[in-house]
Amino acid sequence: MSEEPAAHPAPTAPSAPLAVSAPPAESALSAPPAEPRGRRLSQDDRRRQLIGIGLQMLASRPIHALSIDAVAAEAGISRGLLFHYFPTKQHYYAAVVRAAARRLLNAAQAHPHVAPAEQVRSIVAAYVGFIDRHLEPYVAFFHRGAGADADLQEIFDNVRDTLTDRVLAASKLEANPASRMTVRAWWALVESLAVDQATHHATTSEALVRYAVDVLADLLARVDELRGE
Amino acid sequence: MSEEPAAHPAPTAPSAPLAVSAPPAESALSAPPAEPRGRRLSQDDRRRQLIGIGLQMLASRPIHALSIDAVAAEAGISRGLLFHYFPTKQHYYAAVVRAAARRLLNAAQAHPHVAPAEQVRSIVAAYVGFIDRHLEPYVAFFHRGAGADADLQEIFDNVRDTLTDRVLAASKLEANPASRMTVRAWWALVESLAVDQATHHATTSEALVRYAVDVLADLLARVDELRGE
DNA sequence: GGCATCTCTTGAGCAATGCTCAACATACCG
DNA sequence: CGGTATGTTGAGCATTGCTCAAGAGATGCC
């Protein structure tokens, strides 16, 4: 959880101060700017650059279709250097997915100073909006990306758990196993709805968010039924 | 959808007629018997054998951790032969996942001659039971397995769509976009619950199934809220 | 039986690629 | 200006996905 492309591009590029050129500064799953192949970056900047390239190149293709060579070429560095920063291709991929996860979690934050119901609604709205705006990379990183090892699984679990915690906290519910299980499952439902919506636009985002929130209430109203009996 | 390990082992093995030796014949995601490295099998039998090996070896490790060499060695054949049956490692993997999907769909069938509510209940119970009995391979093939290309995506979509169709048919509902979207999302919820349950055993299967069925009713009762408005 | 043919099977070999490592170069510091 | 730290390179190794021409076992026909 220590590496991630920051909002600013590498400091060695004096002409690219804070925002990207073409698209207006949008904190997305897609990508930071391309680096003029300057050399001798600091550890942090190099990591950021490489992870940024990963976010970019892996948004549209699965990990097995991306070679270390391609990343190195895009970054203007040698293959070897990539292994200096990431001991393994899997580690590199995990770092990229971790960055994507952080962006997602960053987008779906709670507003601490509003009523509980409104907090949940805003989290869901942000989450749904994020998927709507970044469908392809979202699917690439969080569905298709599952392919690998325990590291990845841990990242996904962490995202789900964090979102679940936020909803539980926002709705002032006690966090017992049954309610956690319920909210986690509800997030799976919301995700499915959001991906469907982003794909087919069968309804409005507002209707979908309201539906999701109401459904959560239904689910929690039945939570005793789930527990033992 | 044409290749799949059948119930019977390869015919060239005269001492293994129909059921596996150690575990009683259980239609699972796990594995058919190991083949004595006889030679010269028929196309169908060889495919079945190879897919069976895949079901076995991929139940516990991701695809990138399994080499064609390992499969060939396990089957007692040369690397080259595997590419005679599957033009690509991805094709091989897709065939294995397809076999796993078929087993899952086979397990979660509707009983056509009972009341609608009971039909839905039995489908869900079978699905939940399947995950409970085969958690590791289920996760390996249907979560972790997502990693690859469009072929895989198509298989998963097909599973979801088929399950959705069955539930819609069993509950005598009209299949409009909103109801399909709802039922698909509900399946995502059920899957999450089932995986959680298989992992932590926080409640009983019966309670979980009843909960799932009741929740579906809640969801469908709200479906107008989802549509336009 | 002998020959032809079909199909399953092999194994050498190529190219791509993940990964290692010793050497190099550039920045910083005294 | 020399020394040290560290970012960087590129040759090279082993693995592995994949190709291909040739071999071997079965089957059919005379």
In tens, the pLDDT along A120-161 reads: 999 999 999 999 999 999 999 998 877 668 899 999 999 999
pLDDT at A23 over 60: no
pLDDT at A55 over 60: yes
B27 or B97, higher pLDDT:
B97
DSSP chain A: ------SS--TT-TT--SS-SSS-----SS--PPPP------HHHHHHHHHHHHHHHTTSS-GGG--HHHHHHHHTS-HHHHHHH-SSHHHHHHHHHHHHHHHHHHHS---TTS-HHHHHHHHHHHHHHHHHHTHHHHHHHHTGGGGS-HHHHHHHHHHHHHHHHHHHHHTT----HHHHHHHHHHHHHHHHHHHHHHHH--S-HHHHHHHHHHHHHHHHHTHHHHS--
pLDDT the model gives residue A186 = 98
Q: Give the pLDDT confidence of B116-131 residue by residue, as tens digits.
A: 899 999 999 999 999 9
Q: Does A208 touch chain B (CB under 8 A)?
A: yes
pLDDT the model gives residue A34 = 47
Closest nt by CA–C1' to A49: D7
For strand C, which residues in window 21-50 of chain B come within 7 Å by CB? 39-43, 46
**A182 min Cα distance to partner chain B (Å):** 7
pTM of the model: 0.86
For residue B207, the SS3 value is helix
CB contact under 8 A, B177 and A186: no
* Least confident piece of the model among B24-28, B85-89, B185-189: B24-28
pLDDT the model gives residue A38 = 55
pLDDT at B31 over 80: no
CB contact under 8 A, A222 and B210: no
CB contact under 8 A, B181 and A193: yes
For the CA of A85 and the C1' of C26, the distance in angstroms is 19
Q: Give the pLDDT confidence of A198-221 residue by residue, as tens digits.
A: 999 999 999 999 999 999 999 999
What average pLDDT does this structure show over B156-168?
97
Q: Please report which confidence band the pLDDT of residue B143 belongs to, taking 50, 70 and 90 as the band edges.
A: confident
What average pLDDT does this structure show over B18-43?
53
pLDDT at B18 over 80: no
pLDDT the model gives residue A9 = 40
**Strand D within 7 A of B178 CB:** no
A3 or A205, higher pLDDT:
A205
pLDDT the model gives residue B136 = 95
pLDDT at A17 over 60: no
For the CA of B30 and the C1' of C6, the distance in angstroms is 35
CB contact under 8 A, B188 and A184: no
Closest nt by CA–C1' to A77: D8
| Chain B residues near residue A186 by CB distance under 8 angstroms | 189
pLDDT at B2 over 50: no
What average pLDDT does this structure show over A33-42?
63
Q: Please report which confidence band the pLDDT of residue A188 belongs to, taking 50, 70 and 90 as the band edges.
A: very high
What average pLDDT does this structure show over B55-81?
95
